[in-house]
A and B are shown apart, each in its own frame.
Chain A
């Protein structure tokens, strides 16, 4: 049904505010040279960092567990390797290294050793930088977009943060909305 909705941005229907650079990558076709495979690789420690990063983006709140619990730490690097062309993979990988370097510069500790507040500050700065640079693709937008995608398609995201209804059985287009009622997990 998507094409019959007059909404330009397909990603909006997923309910995640995916940036235009990520949309471009996920929805456009690329013709890669035949043997171009995963050029970057991520360590277990990288996955841990990304897991904690994602948990700052979408932390545990009263209503639902956060991105770490939802397994987004493993999802992000997997998507970078499988679904992104080399150029984007490299932007992501070098951005991750740069973030670590920023942590050392600011606190003399690596990301995993920072407190929650310190991590939040690192991300606030990254966000500010990203907005100011107006760059189309950056580590922060890629990592944040994939956090949103991974979280809101995860079991925790779909069943705790939102409401998952596999077989509705009927359609009511004028149902009452109760204040604070969660969004449906799928369209």
Chain B
């Protein structure tokens, strides 16, 4: 490729960030704020804050198909269609599965948002810290490798991240769920308050129920407006009331005037310089024109989402790195994990007929993990937490099957007679070496790149845990006076939680890990990976807050090292 020196200079930055999602946006913000000129490469289209939230303010009758998907949408999104997030209102923000195929050795539902902001636009916003118990679990039971950090290393960065993004929640002094820097919590509703009181009394406060800790603002924060309780977050918020790249990190980075953003830029591989033993830059395929080009930088942050990043690293082969960049340990692609969920219990609450809700709370309750701590011993390792909530819906059990007519319509215009409450478990999946991804060269995507093959399943530990996730939930609901309590298991397949993590794990030992304790590649000192791929274990808490904290911490280290001349 004949690059004239001017073009090379134009294409040279202090840092390149691959990906503009939850962690990529943070890398761009931190690095630009610390004085670096940064190029952020996003493989998909741009989405401008508020201006491009086409469906955000639409009334139900403004959707042609009442929110349902057409056969054509199902045809081009066969994987995204497998679960609820892809619907008429959000349909532009989920990947076209036919353009971006992948191989499922076992079923893996890979939900992807290929656009500016990535999944930070559609995420669930639940934000919990990991505790030392979580960081110690791998070493304690021998599954996976020891985390190279402990809570004290990341605690100041959790503070930092929470203070910037705004998380509303209630401090509970619960060891497995460290407290945070919270904005005022949202309210529990009347049924949840009653259930909380009764569960905590019944179990002698060995279990607690708290309001969800969510990245929705309950008060104005850093120039962003507070939540208006419309519960339409995944369409983009015109008030900026939840954290996304668009509402928060991108404006901060842009304010430095040191950020260049290039959408439609698919990073195909990291360019390795065997003489300096560092990354030189990246090779990009323009997603619209298929033109290829190179960009150069002193450091590269890989934030392309867990499997996007690992694909990129596996695809960045060279003589020095024949099986993928920084893969001397052989761990790249291995230890894939996801939270298993979609099981729990539900029941109906009687005695609240004179109460209703006003406003639609985009948040639920949380019961933090209480298993395998203290005197609570289970026949499986690790544990689970619960999300859920109570609502007064529209299900009229007294209505006859297939009823119709004037009385029927009038009945359906009223809320249900009773409230219902549900608890859904989110369980930890152990790190298993055999749960892995690798590159499948037999298929090509729309741009001629090979595809990812995914081989992942839950095993005995998870199966046993799921029994308890259902039974414990039922027991707690019954103890709270709920009636008609039923357990459910709606069948879980890996990927469905959209919390896929692992495959480029951190560790102290270069023989068993890809990254060191600073998220820095052991073997390539100017490459940092701070999205979900870096996680040695996943606990049961929602992970994005941890990605943000690790990213900010890694950026701090990277810039210090750069200034010292170490990288």
Question: Is there contact, CB below 8 Å, between A12 and B406?
Answer: no
Tell me, yes or no, whether B480 is within 8 Å of chain A by CB. no
Given contacts A64-B409, A144-B402, A183-B414, contact A168 B359 (CB under 8 A): yes
Of the candidates A5, A32, A131, A151, which one forms a contact with B391 in the assembled complex, judged by CB atoms under 8 Å apart? A5
For residue B484, give the distance in angstroms from its CB to the closest CB of chain A.
13
Q: Which A19-75 residues have a C-beta within 8 angstroms of B? A: 19, 26-32, 36, 56-61, 63-64, 66, 75
Mark the stretch among A98-106, A107-115, A155-163 that contacts chain B: A155-163
B395 within 8 A of A: yes
Contact B388 A6, beta carbon cutoff 8 Å: yes
Q: A84 — nearest CB in chain B belongs to which residue? A: B71
Q: Which residues of A contact B395 (CB under 8 A)?
A: 12, 15, 17
B514 CB to nearest A CB, Å = 31
User: Is B161 an interface residue, CB under 8 A from the partner?
Assistant: no
Min distance, Cβ A45 to any Cβ of chain B, angstroms: 22
Contact B355 A177 (CB under 8 A): yes
In residues 142-187 of chain A, which contact B (Cβ within 8 Å)?
144, 148-155, 158, 161-162, 164-177, 180-187
A85 at the interface (CB under 8 A from B): yes
Contact residue among B74, B389, B402, B473 (Cβ-Cβ distance under 8 Å from A140): B402
> In whole angstroms, what is the CA distance A25 to B60 when docked?
20
Q: How far is the CA of A175 from the CA of B391 in the complex (A)?
A: 12
Q: Which residues of B contact A26 (CB under 8 A)?
A: 68-69
Of B142-150, B186-194, B318-326, B521-529, the one with at least 4 CB within 8 A of chain A: B186-194
CA–CA, A5 to B218, complex, Å?
A: 22
Pick from A12, A153, A167: contact of B61, CB below 8 A.
Answer: A153
Query: A4-B387, A8-B488, A63-B413 are contacts. A173–B59 as well, Cβ < 8 Å?
Result: no
Q: Nearest chain B CB to A102's CB is how many angstroms away?
A: 17
> In the complex, what residues of B have CB within 8 A of residue A150's CB?
66
Task: Report the minimum CB–CB distance from B171 to chain A (whole Å).
Answer: 20
Known contacts A174-B190, A175-B358, A32 near B71 by CB under 8 Å: yes
Q: Which of A15, A158, A170 lies in contact with B229, CB distance below 8 A? A: A170
- CB atoms of B70 and A177 under 8 A apart: no
Interface size class of B (residues with CB under 8 A): 35 or more
Which residues of chain B from 327 to 365 have a CB within 8 Å of any chain A CB?
341-342, 344-346, 353-364
A123 interface hit (Cβ, 8 Å): yes
Number of A-B residue pairs at CB separation under 8 A: 226
User: When the two chains form their complex, are residues A174 and B393 in contact, meaning their CB atoms are under 8 A apart?
Assistant: no
B228 A167 Cβ-Cβ under 8 A: yes
Q: A4-B387, A127-B404, A131-B402 are in contact. Are A171 and B358 (CB under 8 A)?
A: yes
B420 and A171 contacting across the interface, CB-CB below 8 Å: no
Cβ A173 vs Cβ B189 within 8 A: yes
A75 to chain B: closest residue by CB: B66
Partner of A171, one of B360, B402, B413, B490: B360
Q: Which residues of A contact B164 (CB under 8 A)?
A: none
Please tell me if the beta carbons of B230 and A176 are within 8 angstroms of each other in the complex.
no
Chain B residues whose C-beta falls within 8 Å of the C-beta of A60 in the assembled complex? 406
Q: How far is the CB of B516 from chain A (nearest CB, A)?
A: 35
A83-B71, A153-B67 known; A6+B423 contact, CB < 8 A: yes
The reply on A91 being an interface residue by CB < 8 A is no
Residues of chain A with a CB closer than 8 A to B92's CB: none
Contact between B358 and A149, CB atoms less than 8 A apart: no
A93 in contact (CB, < 8 A): no
**A interface secondary structure, majority:** loop
Least distance between A118 CB and chain B CB atoms (Å):
15
Write the B33-77 contact mask toward A (1 if CB under 8 angstroms, else 0).
Answer: 000000000000000000000000101110111111111101101
CB distance from A23 to the nearest CB of B (A): 11
Residue of chain B at shortest CB distance from A141: B402
CA distance in complex: A141, B404 (Å): 11
In the bound complex, residues from chain A placing their C-beta under 8 Å from that of B488 are: 6, 8
Which residue from chain B places its CB closest to the CB of A180 in the assembled complex? Answer: B414
- CB pair B78–A31 under 8 Å, yes or no, is yes
Contacts of B388 in A (CB 8 A): 4-6
> Which residues of B in the span 435-454 have a Cβ within 8 Å of any Cβ on A?
none
Partner of B399, one of A17, A59, A153, A184: A17
In the bound assembly, the distance between CA atoms of A141 and B412 in angstroms comes to 17
User: What size tier do the contact residues of chain A reach?
Assistant: 35 or more
The CA of A32 and the CA of B71, in the complex, are separated in Å by 8
Distance, CA A15 to CA B392, complexed state (A): 11
Cβ–Cβ contact B60 & A158, under 8 A: yes
> A173, B78: Cβ atoms under 8 Å?
no
| Cβ-based interface call for A130 (8 A) | yes
Q: Please determine whether B59 and A83 come into contact, CB atoms closer than 8 angstroms.
A: no
A30 to B70, CA, bound (A): 11
CB B89 to nearest CB in A, in angstroms, measures 11
Q: Does A13 reach chain B (CB closer than 8 Å)? A: yes
| Contact between chains at A183 and B415 (CB < 8 Å) | yes
From B346, B355, B421, A174 is in contact (CB under 8 Å) with B355
User: CA of A94 to CA of B67 in the docked complex: distance in angstroms?
Assistant: 26
Q: A64 contacts B71, CB within 8 Å?
A: no
Contact status of A182 and B422, CB under 8 A, knowing A167-B228, A187-B360? no
- Taking a contact as CB atoms under 8 Å apart, the answer to whether B356 and A175 are in contact is yes
Question: Assuming A56-B404, A59-B406, is B391 touching A169 (CB within 8 A)?
Answer: no
A120 to chain B, nearest CB (A): 8
- B61 in contact with A155 (CB, 8 Å): yes
| B409 x A161 contact (CB < 8 A) | yes
Closest to B488 in A: A8
Is the C-beta of B394 less than 8 angstroms from some C-beta in chain A? Answer: yes
Give the Cβ gap from B567 to chain A, nearest Cβ, in Å.
41
B231 interfacial by beta-carbon distance below 8 Å = yes
Interface contact A31-B61, CB-CB below 8 Å: no
Residue among A131, A148, A186 making CB contact with B60, cutoff 8 Å: A186
Q: What are 29 A-B interface contacts by the 8 Å CB criterion? A: A1-B362, A1-B389, A6-B421, A29-B79, A56-B404, A56-B405, A57-B405, A58-B404, A59-B405, A59-B409, A78-B64, A127-B404, A131-B402, A149-B66, A150-B66, A153-B66, A153-B67, A154-B61, A155-B61, A164-B59, A166-B57, A168-B360, A170-B359, A172-B357, A173-B189, A173-B193, A174-B190, A183-B414, A187-B391
By Cβ-Cβ distance, the 7 closest A-B pairs, closest first, are A6-B422, A173-B189, A15-B394, A168-B359, A171-B359, A29-B81, A177-B356
**New contact pairs (17) apart from A3-B83, A6-B423, A32-B71, CB-CB < 8 Å:** A1-B124, A1-B364, A1-B389, A2-B84, A3-B124, A16-B394, A58-B408, A59-B405, A60-B406, A78-B64, A84-B71, A131-B401, A131-B402, A168-B359, A172-B187, A173-B189, A185-B60
